């Protein structure tokens, strides 16, 4: 262990006695409460409209702590099992008694025992050390232990006291199972910190701890806007030594993330800036504003004086409304009095409104089932009806596509297409008179899925 780590551990050792007393008084009962987690929820498949598949790209969505598809094999549920809870409790006690010895013991273990012991040790470190010092120790770990350490620190630092014990335990499990995602573990965990009520010292320590990593542009872009008194110009000035690619990426991501958190502040900064280089931020801020609070942007539209900025705002609003698949998009565009603005709005609605056969689908025993026919949609003119099980679709000039046994999302993607294009849909339907299954087919002309707002979100 290097001298810096030893110095940090010496600081921790000073408060270890206090930590042990605090543990004896309150930690054990708290750990027992957290250990009581609900059983794993059984997987269910809820109805899905074709419009639901038109989800925002991941880069545009406020990020959230959901398990990644590449979650590492060592990431397991560390709570909810009494044995795991006991082992972490023992590790916490060991760290309270002698943190350096407890850290050394981690390397002597393997498998589940190592995971649970490391988590217990770093729960103690998170509670009894400065964030910068805790990250120094976590980053000194090797292999899988480093990932466990970082996840544990973030889980402890970002606890929400408003959550009950079960919800808190479920959240901790999600963080412990988070994977590398698109931008790496450190960036994924940075998102959790940014969305939490953790003290600013945690965000600053996280940015400092990973200031020499290739992913630093994403980490800073996610964390800097969450700091009090955030100033983009000041943040950007600190990256003078970065590569051109990093600086360019940071600028775009930084402003977009800020606009998602506080669109009015981001727009005010843009509007008051005399820097011509910032002119390309207009659409980024307005798109983020429309996604986070469309009605607020609509109400602020009259205050946008620049014709170009106003046109960007109209396109952003129209896009946001259209992506929800509601008739509100058309109603709002029609309310515009300027013909050029109406044309831009209608174009945005057309480009972003889902297109398909006009059905709400759900899965039943492996079959995509028509749960609901959208009024005024393409299926309205056919004899298909709710309850029909779709078994096959064939685009004009194409090959039949078997839809039995595939995911609902894939089914929606297959059935969607350009307005005016035709698809033959083949279904199974039970004849109520005979009790026999019968096949039926219908040729459907795809159309825009303009849904009524009521009950459609």
Distance CA 50, CA 264 (A): 33
Helices 185-195 & 200-209 angle (0-180, nearest 10): 170
| C-alpha atoms less than 13 angstroms from C-alpha of 291 in its C-beta half-sphere | 21
Place of tokens 């046994």: 405
- 84: alpha, beta or left, given left = phi > 0 and alpha = psi -120 to 50? alpha
Q: What is the H or E stretch that residue 366 is in? A: none
> Of the candidates 142, 106, 133, which has an alpha carbon nearest to the alpha carbon of residue 121?
106
Q: Hey, what are 151's tokens?
A: 């996840």
Environment class of 206 (CB within 10 Å of its CB; exposed 0-12, middle 13-18, buried 19+) = buried
> Of the candidates 316, 199, 339, which has an alpha carbon nearest to the alpha carbon of residue 263?
316
Place of tokens 């551990």: 9
Q: Hey, what are 401's tokens?
A: 């596509």
* Cβ atoms of residues 402 and 392 within 8 Å: yes
Q: What is the DSSP letter of 38?
A: P
Place of tokens 């298909």: 384
- Determine the pLDDT at residue 182: 85
Q: Hey, what are 35's tokens?
A: 């250990």
- Determine the pLDDT at residue 274: 61
- Which own/partner contact pairs does 378-384 have at CB distance under 8 Å and 24+ positions apart? 378/444, 378/445, 378/446, 378/447, 379/442, 379/444, 382/442, 382/443, 382/444, 383/440, 383/442, 384/425, 384/427, 384/440, 384/442, 384/444
Chain centre distance of CA 104: 36
Give how far Cα 237 sits from Cα of 120, 187, 249, 272, Å.
Answer: 40, 21, 14, 19
Query: What is the rounded (10 degree) CA torsion for 108, 109, 115, 117?
Result: -70
DSSP E strand stretches across 28-166 = 48-49
* Cβ atoms of residues 123 and 23 within 8 Å: no
DSSP E strand stretches across 315-383 = 355-356, 359-364, 367-373
Task: List, in order, residues 6 or more apart from 127 with CB less than 8 Å away.
Answer: 19, 156
> Of the candidates 289, 275, 285, 280, which has an alpha carbon nearest to the alpha carbon of residue 248?
280
- Per-residue pLDDT tens for 399-415? 999 999 998 888 888 88
**Residue ranges of the chain whose pLDDT lies below 50:** 2-82, 276, 452-457
- Per-residue pLDDT tens for 129-164? 999 999 999 999 999 999 999 999 999 999 988 888
- Determine the pLDDT at residue 417: 82
Q: Hey, what are 178's tokens?
A: 């988070």
Q: Hey, what are 404's tokens?
A: 């039995």
- Determine the pLDDT at residue 336: 93
Distance CA 170, CA 187 (A): 21
* Cβ atoms of residues 148 and 137 within 8 Å: no
Please list the residues that pair with 401 across neighbouring strands: 393
Other Cβ atoms within 10 Å of 336 Cβ, number:
18
Q: What is the H or E stretch that residue 389 is in? A: strand 389-395
**Length of the chain in residues, anyone?**
457
Distance CA 159, CA 296 (A): 31
DSSP 182-209: TT-HHHHHHHHHHHS---HHHHHHHHHH
* Cβ atoms of residues 254 and 224 within 8 Å: yes
Task: List, in order, residues 6 or more apart from 260 with CB less than 8 Å away.
Answer: 62, 288, 291, 292
The domains located in the chain, with CATH, are 3-40+61-224 (no CATH), 245-352 (no CATH), 355-448 (2.30.42.10)
Task: List, in order, residues 6 or more apart from 92 with CB less than 8 Å away.
Answer: 23, 27, 31, 120, 121, 123, 124
* Cβ atoms of residues 190 and 206 within 8 Å: yes
């Amino acid at each position: 262990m290097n001298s810096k780590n030893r110095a940090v551990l010496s600081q921790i050792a000073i408060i270890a006695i206090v930590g042990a007393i605090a543990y004896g008084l309150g930690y054990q009962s708290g750990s027992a409460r957290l250990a009581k987690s609900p059983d794993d929820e059984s997987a269910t498949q809820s109805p899905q409209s074709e419009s639901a598949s038109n989800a925002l790209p991941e880069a545009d969505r406020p990020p959230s702590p959901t398990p990644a598809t590449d979650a590492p094999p060592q990431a397991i549920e560390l709570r909810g099992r009494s044995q795991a809870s006991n082992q972490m409790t023992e590790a916490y006690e060991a760290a309270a008694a002698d943190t350096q010895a407890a850290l050394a013991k981690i390397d002597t273990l393997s498998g589940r025992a190592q995971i649970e012991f490391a988590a217990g040790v770093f729960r103690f470190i998170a509670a009894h050390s400065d964030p910068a010092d805790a990250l120094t120790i976590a980053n000194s770990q090797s292999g899988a232990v480093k990932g466990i350490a970082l996840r544990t620190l973030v889980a402890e630092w970002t606890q929400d006291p408003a959550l009950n014990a079960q919800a808190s335990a479920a959240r901790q499990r999600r963080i412990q199972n988070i994977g590398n995602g698109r931008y790496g573990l450190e960036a994924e965990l940075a998102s959790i910190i940014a969305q939490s009520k953790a003290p600013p010292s945690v965000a600053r320590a996280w940015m400092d701890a990973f200031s020499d990593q290739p992913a630093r542009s994403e980490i800073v872009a996610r964390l800097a806007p969450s700091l009090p008194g955030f100033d983009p110009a000041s943040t950007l000035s600190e990256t003078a030594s970065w590569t051109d690619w990093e600086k360019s990426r940071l600028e775009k991501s930084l402003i977009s993330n800020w606009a998602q958190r506080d669109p009015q502040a981001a727009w005010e900064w843009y509007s008051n800036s005399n820097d011509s280089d910032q002119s390309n931020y207009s659409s980024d801020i307005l798109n983020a504003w429309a996604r986070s609070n469309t009605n607020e942007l609509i109400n602020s539209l009259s205050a946008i004086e620049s014709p170009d900025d106003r046109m960007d705002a109209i396109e952003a609003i129209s896009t946001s409304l259209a992506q929800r698949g509601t008739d509100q998009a058309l109603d709002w565009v029609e309310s515009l009095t300027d013909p050029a603005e109406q044309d831009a709005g209608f174009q945005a609605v057309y480009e972003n409104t889902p297109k398909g056969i006009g059905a709400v689908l759900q899965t039943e025993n492996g079959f995509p089932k028509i749960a609901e026919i959208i009024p005024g949609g393409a299926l309205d003119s056919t004899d298909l009806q709710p309850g029909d099980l779709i078994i096959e679709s064939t685009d004009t000039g194409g090959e039949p596509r078997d839809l039995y046994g595939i995911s609902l999302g894939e089914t929606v993607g297959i059935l969607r297409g350009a307005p005016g294009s035709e698809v033959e849909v083949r279904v199974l339907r039970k004849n109520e008179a005979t009790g026999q299954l019968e096949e039926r087919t219908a040729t459907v002309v795809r159309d825009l899925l303009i849904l009524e707002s009521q009950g459609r979100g």
